Amino acid sequence: MYDGNMASRVIHYTLTNDATLMALIEGVVEDIWGRTESDPSVAFPFVRFSLLDTGDEYYNGQVRAITNQRVLIHGVQEFKSTPSFGGTLQTIADRIDVLLHAKTIDILDTDDSAVIGSAYIYRESPFRERFLDGSIEYRYLGGIYQVSINKH
């Protein structure tokens, strides 16, 4: 498996396989909702993640040892009145942090049967933002995470 996809794979797998988080949200998406996925207008709240940048570290300048990726991971909530960074949105952000911060997580193959690598993940910084679209407000709460991947 191409190691540039491993951070996305381990984040998506970890978040979607947590019953506590999934009870709070409608889904986990990478970047944007796809055409065949749920209509975003009925998908709130959800978790979105985006790869920000990637870099490799090498042993002796030739053998790739680790791939580092910075990933923005946050809950997204739609508000038609009384917007808040608290409540469910705060609970989602807290749960993401519990699942990912300071964790070493096995990366499984596409059949989820064999370990093909490891990811060490920690939160680098918090993330908090809002977006207005007419009378609707969207709030984002989560963090920027550093994901270091090595293949087995």
Average pLDDT of the segment spanning 118-135: 95
Q: Confidence band (pLDDT; 50, 70, 90) for 36?
A: low
User: What does DSSP assign to residue 47?
Assistant: E
Give the list of residues 6+ apart from residue 94 with CB closer than 8 angstroms, or none: none
Residue 123 has pLDDT above 60, yes or no: yes
Average pLDDT of the segment spanning 49-58: 87
For residue 62, the model assigns a pLDDT of 79
Average pLDDT of the segment spanning 14-38: 85
For residue 89, the model assigns a pLDDT of 97
For residue 51, the model assigns a pLDDT of 92
Q: Do residues 64 and 146 make contact, with C-beta atoms less than 8 angstroms apart?
A: no
For residue 61, the model assigns a pLDDT of 76
For residue 31, the model assigns a pLDDT of 82
Domains along the sequence of the chain with CATH:
3-151 (3.30.2000.30)
Token pair, residue 23, equals: 């009870």
For residue 79, the model assigns a pLDDT of 93
For residue 110, the model assigns a pLDDT of 82
Mean of per-residue pLDDT scores for the chain? 89
Please provide the size of the chain in residues: 152
Average pLDDT of the segment spanning 99-118: 92
Beta strands in the chain (DSSP E): 28-30, 46-59, 63-79, 103-108, 115-133, 136-151
